[in-house]
Structure formats: structure tokens, C-alpha cells
Amino acid sequence: MRILVVADIHANRAALDAIAEPHDVCLCLGDTVEYGPEPAACVEWAERHVHFGVRGNHDHGVVQNVEITGTGGFRYLTMVTRPPTLAALAPAHRRYLADQPTTRMLTLGGLRFFLVHATPRDPLDEYTPSVPKAWEPRLQGIKADFVLVGHTHHQFTFSVGATTLVNPGSVGLPRDGDPRARYAIIEDGAVELKQVKYAIAETIAGVEAMDIDPRAKAMLADVYRHGRYLNGNGNGPPPPSD
């Protein structure tokens, strides 16, 4: 069985279009919307392609219309892009996001998979470094062959005891200095972390057409081009938050 794992699409339809992997099952680890210019198209992609998914913190914030304030970094970008995201989504799109659970356990090909956006301890918001020692207490009590997570926008895989932890990275907004779209393939228990180039200029053009502050457009374009802030908001790299 060949499993495609995606996470943190963030309304970047052009990045999604670049993923052309053959697969039997598609799993999505949340944050389909916000930041990017095409949230509706990305939700519709998920409706067509994702077999099993979970809700991310941005999905939850949009569904609940959570008020957010911020003056810098990704918190500021969340505040700025939430109104146009809400305006672009029909009630059916929001229902799809609301119907996604915060965690999910399933068996595929005889292997047990635990899906969560952030961590089992805090499914929506906890940001955990990509080192085994940090994950050991967070995986206690989780009886799974694979734990699949997103949220950090950093791609990694390693073992914690008998469990393989996989973060496929961000499809739509990588943050590690490589702007390519990220995803993972799991086949017969083996994990392959993959990257693919996509039409970044198309996504930036979509952001330019959004009704948001020019500062936010420049910040997003920076991240799309470079996979991290270079100029950003003028205050250096943002803290590792979502």
C-alpha cells in the first residue's frame, strides 16, 4: 500500500497541483486554509483526494471565526488573512473543515496510524522541536506503528521506541529555507520524505490580488520565494509559532 501524507497546505493550490504521486490512500494532517490565496480550491481538493484527515489550528480558527490579534510574524499573517479566507469559503467548505476530528487512529495495510496536527497532548497548538527526546513524553500511551504530525512546517522522521514519527513538512508554506512543496510517501512501512518545485510566481500573484495589507503581501512573498523570512516584517525571523 502506498500512502500519500500531506499537511499545512495553507490555501496554496499551485503547490498542491505539483504533487503527482501515485498512491492508494491520502492522509491530511490539517491546516488546509489561511495564509494563501485559494482556500476554497484547497478544501475542494481535500474533499476529492483525502481519505482520512484531521483538523489543524487554522482550520479550527476559521470554522469558529476565532478572533486573533498580532503585530508580527505568522500571528500577524493569520490575523490579516483570516477575513479573506472566511469570505472565500462557502458554508459547505467550512462544514468539511468542522467535520474533521482533532485526532484519528486507523489501520492501513496491517499498520496502526495515529494522525494529529500538532501533538497527541495538545492536538491543535503545541509546537514541539523535531528531536526524539522532546517527543518521548508526548507519545506515551499512543499505541501506534506510525504517528503522523504537521504544524511545525519542518519535515522529519525518526523512531521513538517502536513508533515511527513522521512530519511530511508543509505543502504550501515551508519554513526551513527550501521553498519547494513538501510531502511524504509511506509504502510497506518505509518512509520517504519528498520535495517538489511548484509555480511559486502563480501563488505570489494570487497573494498580490488579495485584499490585504501590502506589508503582509511582502512577508508572504518572502516566505514563498525563500522558504523562510529574509526581510519579513523588519524584525528578523519570527518565533516558531503557527
The CA distance from 124 to 30, in Å, is 9
Distance of CA 239 to the CA centre of its chain: 17
Q: In what order do the strands lie in the sheet with 146-148?
A: 103-108, 111-116, 146-148, 163-168, 155-160
Taking 70 as the threshold, does the pLDDT of residue 234 lie above it?
no
Instruction: Provide the whole-model pTM.
Output: 0.94
With b meaning 16 or more CB within 10 Å and e meaning fewer, what string describes 124-145? bebebebeeeebeebbeebebb
Domains of the chain and any CATH numbers: 2-102+170-226 (3.60.21.10)
The pLDDT value recorded for residue 137 is 96
Q: What is the pLDDT of residues 66-101, one digit of tens each?
A: 988 777 899 999 999 999 999 999 999 999 999 999
